[in-house]
Structure 1
Amino acid sequence: MNSKIGGVLLRVAAMAAILWGTWLMILLSLPYTSFDPYIDFLNSKQLVYHIKTWRYSFYIHVFVSTIVLITGLLQFSKYIMFRKAQLHRGSGIVYIVIVIFLSGPSGLIMGIYANGGLAAQVSFVLLSLLWILFTGFAFYYATKRKFAIHGHWMLRSFALTLSAISLRFYAFLLATFHVHLHPRTAYILIAWLSWTLNLLLAEYLIRRKWIEKYYLGKLL
């Protein structure tokens, strides 16, 4: 198998994994459409559920998460980027608006009240702030038509977007392999791993000039 075929298979596998994770996120979100305060994750948030700011932030964050995942993924379709430019720009605008004005701020508020104490709260607050910041940089460099730098910041932003999936993946791994950790320790570990490893992978791809080679080769 040559490197080109291997690269294609790797990208297809990554896209399939993200789509599968997005589908699972939809399934996880559906129970909350009942607005039952005693369902699933909300059972652990009874001490803050009465706080309107937190409650509104929670439902906003949950219900727009799928839109962010899908529109973010569309940004990395080479076919859409070059053959459906309007869709690329339109979905990009939706992604940027939702992250900066809805998902990011709501995640920040939720992070302040996160389970797991200060260590987990710092992780989620930092994640939200970086998510908003990176997405803002992506928009800025797109308006300046500096597409390589725009791509770098979009990759960083989407890496943080995917923390919604990776957090649940790591929780699944700990449960599957019966890793014996105190629940609070496990939650703190997952809180940090969910986005730091994603960001490290994004930085690795940036250093390897993946955006330039795969997307912008014909333009450079």
Structure 2
Amino acid sequence: MTHTTNAPPAAPPRRAPAWWRRPWIVPLLLVVAAFLAFSVPPYLTFDPSLSRLEPPEGDGLYYPLLVAHVLFGAVAMTTACFQIWPAFRAQHPRGHRITGRIYVFGGVLPAALLGFYIGWHTAAGPSVRVANLVGSALWLAVTIAGLRMARRRRYGEHRRWMSRSFALTMSIVLSRIINVVATIALMPQVDTTYRGSVELVQYSAASIGPWLSPLLLLLLTDWLLERRKPAAGRVRRGQ
């Protein structure tokens, strides 16, 4: 006589929430589109006089590399949005892998490497120079760490590192906003602290964004990652 047991039915695969249940997706796409529409077109003319960054005198290599840096950065920002989109990642895994490779090899890696040259030769002063060099190094390091985790199939760690990479990719947007706010905040001191020099005010304001923006976004990213840990633990214990 044989005995059989009825195995519990397999749980249906979890689906990512629809895009409209992630209210930050559409605003993020709109912000990135607006930023790129404002920042990229002047460099498509290949006219150094339209550059938003002042090329150093006598350096003929700076502007072409700056154009390449901007274009690779635009690729990174565009593909990054699809990388962190949960519905796209869940419903189109092949598309996620393809855009991920484009993000790394056609966006972050060349943009970060070019960032070392652009950062070192900036005309914005030593504080911005160091901030750009440190930012490029961090951007490169966390992205490579995320790529290595994916190749080792350690996808949880992969997502954590790539979340940090995304934060650094988007830090340029927040940096521009911080620079404007800093300029407005410092301008009342132009006749006291800065002895009437508006140029010094602009240099000081320009050095705040490159430092504060990546720091704030990395702190926010790690805070969000830590918040998700207990929920993930409860799911595992319930299984």
The answer for the alignment partner of 2:11 in structure 1 is: none
Give TM-score scaled by structure 2 length: 0.76
Match of 2:57 among 47, 51, 62: 47
Letter of the 1:205 partner, please give it: L
Alignment of 1:28 onto 2:39: yes
| Equivalent-residue separation in structure 2 for 1:156 and 1:9 (angstroms) | 24
- Report if aligned partners of 2:48, 2:63 keep a CA contact under 8 Å in 1: no
- Report if aligned partners of 1:160, 1:199 keep a CA contact under 8 Å in 2: yes
> 1:15 and 1:148, CA in 2 relative to 1: closer, same or farther beyond 3 A?
farther
The answer for the alignment partner of 1:196 in structure 2 is: 215
CA RMSD of aligned residues (A): 2.6
Q: 1:180-195 maps to which residues of 2 (within 5 A)?
A: 180=187, 182-195=201-214
* Structure 1 residues without counterparts, runs of 5 or longer: 1-7
Q: 1:3-14 maps to which residues of 2 (within 5 A)?
A: 11-13=22-24
**CA distances 1:167-206 after superposition (whole Å, capped 9, x unpaired):** 112123335x454262211111112112111111111112
* Structure 2 residues without counterparts, runs of 5 or longer: 1-18, 190-200
**CA distances 1:111-148 after superposition (whole Å, capped 9, x unpaired):** 11123322211111010011111100111101111111
Match of 1:93 among 101, 114, 121: 101
The Cα shift of 1:40 comes to 4.1
More helix per residue: 1
| Equivalent-residue separation in structure 1 for 2:182 and 2:22 (angstroms) | 26
Rg larger in structure: 2
Moved beyond 3 Å, runs of 4+? 8-11, 210-213
The answer for the alignment partner of 2:224 in structure 1 is: 205
- Report if aligned partners of 1:25, 1:165 keep a CA contact under 8 Å in 2: no
Alignment of 1:115 onto 2:123: yes
The Cα shift of 1:26 comes to 2.7
**CA distances 1:63-109 after superposition (whole Å, capped 9, x unpaired):** 22222111111111111111100000000010011345311111111
- Report if aligned partners of 1:22, 1:165 keep a CA contact under 8 Å in 2: no
> 1:203 and 1:15, CA in 2 relative to 1: closer, same or farther beyond 3 A?
farther
Q: Which moved more, 1:107-116 or 1:141-150?
A: 107-116
